[in-house]
Structure 1
Amino acid sequence: MKIYSWNVRGSSAPDKRRLAKRALTNLNLDVILLQETKLNSDKDVDFKNLCFKWEGLFQDARGSTGGLGILWNPVNIEVYPVASCDFWMACTIKCKKLNLCFPLFNIYGPIKTEDKLRVWKEITLQVYLLELGKVIMAGDFNAILNFKDKVGCLKKPTKVMDDFWDFVSNCRLVDIVPKNGKFTWNNRWLNFSNITERLDRFFVGEWWLLNNHSLESVIESQSGSDHFPITLSIAHESHGPKNYYKFLNMWWQDPSLLDLLRGWWMESNVFAGSPSFKFSKRIQLMKCKLKEWNKNTFKNIFSKNLRIESKLEEINNRVIAMGMTNKQYEAG
């Protein structure tokens, strides 16, 4: 399944036609989320016609600003509207390919600080009325989580960042960082006036990461707007039965192990989400660290065991065939 999110501000009608063509050909999309469509009811039909046989839901613009839209391919997707407001749309998505049903939010974050806080509270309330862990959110949030999400201009702590971080934590969301970069908006000014930020992103609930789903986000090429579109690809990974984890007693032969464990545990304190989710992710990281350390410190103990067992088998066969003298026994 593939979800495409794009703030279309500044894009022309030809740009939108190219979007429709790419959706049905190159990108192989299932759902398209649009922000700042600037469309009202009388223009919605014209926009849907650009996407041929796709279906759509729209939230009207406020005058000449705003506007949201969700388009989907009815061959693979069913959409059931839940609620909407000036700055967000919520619906339930049923994906036939993955046999999944989940809440999807299309968000266009407001500019004013007081409006942002109100919108975050509205969405949080709606998330708790739906399936909390399965939620997916996308769009232009018009906010950053930290200063790493911004290049250019002055950087100082703001209430907006704190409110946005509280919103993400309260909804137990996980940030899906694009594999090919991070910045999705550029003001297109030159030299020291240039500002680049990560305003557009995908968030998912913890359920997706704890139930063998592969999630990959990519920043797509610009299409007329000052925002870059982003896509989220979702696939279900089929795994065979997992081997249970073994902690080997021989590891305590290395006196530095305890200090290493403490260091790895502190190093793994980088995940956001509920306490149970953070704990499971830290355990996974610790497991990877122990595997790597064991390989470098004790080498491959399994191949050593095989060589020893093979040698013992050879000795046993010799004893069975020819017997063993006292001298051979004492020599081992």
Structure 2
Amino acid sequence: MIFIVWNCQGAASGSFKRTLRQFCRDFNPSLICLLEPKVSGNQANKICNSFGFDEWIRVEAVGFSGGIWILWKESISIEIVKTNPQFISVQVNDGDLGPWLLSLVYGSPCQYLKRKLFAELSSQSGDPLSSWLSVGDFNAIIGREEVSNPENFSSARCVDFNDWIFREGLIDLGYNGTKFTWMRGINSSTFRGARLDRALGNLDWKLKFSEATVSHLPMLSSDHCPLLINTGRDQTVSTCRSFKFNMAWTTHATFQALVHGTWNTESDLKINMRVLAGALKEWNVNTFGNIFYRKKRLLSRLKGIQQGLAIQPRPDLLKLERKLRHELEDTLYQEELLWFQRSKEEWIVSGDRNTRFYHAATSVKSKHDRIKVLKDDIGNTLSEEKQLMDHVLKYFVGLFSNEPNVCSQSLLQGAFPSLHASD
């Protein structure tokens, strides 16, 4: 099962809708949870209907704050267990693995209300549904390493959260991607970042879904990263396309000039069409480029920049991040036009269901821990399997070698008592 949990900070904008549809095309989630949509009533119902999911439920926003929406496909069985202004709990029937409890959380910034949230979530502990996963924006952190300004950190801010995690025996599922799930600031002096969003499971859930992964998707149309949770293996996405006139070409700044420069008013229509088609084909390769490749490249660059901002915010990175966001917005609009044209407008109504462009890998792997990334002695990141194996081998060869100073990590002085000759 693949699902997305996202504090979208407003669900009414065109930018949000375009971004969410893009995430749906890329990952084909069975369930989506939107936090802080800031929309209610009939307008919220229309937006929920527009995404084409089979079922959905909402907890209304209070004024322009809060609110939780859950949308899911009929391919999974969802039963509402409990609704609350700060969370919705549902029972998920996930095939042969049996039912489990999923709590989708939007924690209030108010400390008093946050304590009420933890108390309400804890009241579910006696439920016979033993496997429990809690995901969302808790508006809380567990330590100073999860904020961009640790010098201003106060441990009192995270005591309640840590106590609740300890009491319930919850395990942080970790993450792939940028360190912070929330970032804000227009320059390095005002930059702030924190890991406010996470997934926490109890031991039963972790044992049942030992291969589960959490990915922090690029931060688009919101100050929060969407969380992509995959309870199984990673999926692969493949696309194919054949040449034909692309409606998205018309959005490019040089398209009109190309048409005017190629079209000969003294030639007949067939010749002009053939010449223009050839010019467009060459222009598409050399100038316009592949929309999917450009999108992936922009997403990759944004991911890298946001990881860099989490380590050290710099004015040039902040400026580049805003520029790339605008470029990605244009690219997503161009891709939206492409899909609109290819599917004869049907995908807007169907919400991308039954599309032929996605493949989910659902084979089961053996249940064992896996090391994906390590750092060597000088801080370089190692991710290739051979690099990881060589590094581990070198470390333990050095650790158990008789030669002095082979191991890079020397023993701390004073850790053991000194022995005198008389002893």
Question: Any idea what SS the aligned residue of 1:210 has?
Answer: helix
Question: What displacement does 1:142 show?
Answer: 0.5
1:110 aligns with 2:108: yes
Q: Is the Cα–Cα contact under 8 Å of residues 16 and 50 in structure 1 kept in the other structure?
A: no
Residue 216 of structure 1, CA deviation = 1.1
The one-letter amino acid paired with 1:110 is S
Alignment of 1:1-332 (within 5 A): 1-10=1-10, 12-75=12-75, 77-96=76-95, 99-132=97-130, 134-152=131-149, 154-211=151-208, 213-235=210-232, 237-239=364-366
CA contact (8 A) 2:7 2:224 kept: yes
Report the AA paired with residue 56 of structure 2.
G
> Shift of residue 225 of structure 1?
0.8
Distance 1:238 1:229, change over 3 A: closer
Q: 1:127 and 1:19, CA in 2 relative to 1: closer, same or farther beyond 3 A?
A: farther
Change (3 A) 1:15 1:55: farther
Measured against aligned partners, the alpha-carbon deviations of 1:309-332 in whole angstroms (never above 9, x if no partner) come to: xxxxxxxxxxxxxxxxxxxxxxxx
Task: Please state whether the residue corresponding to 1:102 is helix, strand or coil.
Answer: strand
Contact 1:79 1:94 in 2 (8 A): yes
Report the Cα distance in structure 2 between the residues aligned to 1:149 and 1:177, rounded to whole angstroms.
12
Say if 2:38 and 2:61, in contact at 8 Å, map to a contact too.
yes
Alignment check: 8 A CA contact 2:97 2:208 kept:
no
Paired letter, 1:164 = F
- Secondary structure of 2:231's counterpart equals strand
Deviation, structure 1 residue 102: 0.9
| Structure ID, larger Rg | 1
Q: Do 2:5 and 2:136's aligned partners in 1 also have CA atoms closer than 8 Å?
A: yes
1:138·1:203 contact (CA, 8 Å) conserved in 2?
Answer: yes
Paired residues of 2:10 and 2:36 also in contact (CA < 8 A)? no
Q: Per-residue CA shift, 1:282-305, capped at 9, x if unaligned? A: xxxxxxx9xx9699869xxxxxxx
Aligned pair in 2 of structure 1 residues 99, 20: CA closer, same or farther (>3 Å)? farther
* Local SS of the residue matching 1:193: coil
Name stretches of at least 5 consecutive residues in structure 1 with no aligned partner.
243-288, 299-332
Letter in 2 for 1:226: D
CA deviation vs aligned residue, 1:114-141 (integer Å, no higher than 9, x gap)? 1111111111112332534x11111111
Query: Do the aligned partners of 2:68 and 2:87 also contact (CA within 8 Å) in 1?
Result: yes
Q: Which residue of the partner structure matches residue 315 of structure 1? A: none
Find the residue that maps to 1:191 and give its secondary structure: coil
**TM-score normalised per structure 1:** 0.67
- Matched to 1:206, the amino acid is L
CA contact (8 A) 1:212 1:238 kept: no
State the SS of the aligned residue for 1:142.
coil
Residue range with higher mean Cα deviation, 112-121 or 152-161: 152-161
Structure 1 or 2: larger strand share?
Answer: 1
Deviation string, structure 1 residues 255-278 (Cα, Å, up to 9, x no partner): xxxxxxxxxxxxxxxxxxxxxxxx
- Go from structure 1 to structure 2 and tell me whether the alpha carbon gap of 1:99 and 1:74 turns closer, same or farther (over 3 Å shift): farther
Counterparts in 2 of 1:222 and 1:11: CA distance versus 1, 3 Å: farther
State the Cα RMSD in Å: 2.8
- C-alpha contact (below 8 Å) 1:152/1:193 kept by paired residues: no
- One-letter identity of the residue aligned with 1:188: G
After TM superposition, the structure 1 stretch with the greater mean CA deviation from structure 2, 62-71 or 122-131, is 122-131
Q: Check the 8 A contact 1:153/1:193 in 2, yes or no.
A: no
Q: CA deviation at 1:53?
A: 3.6
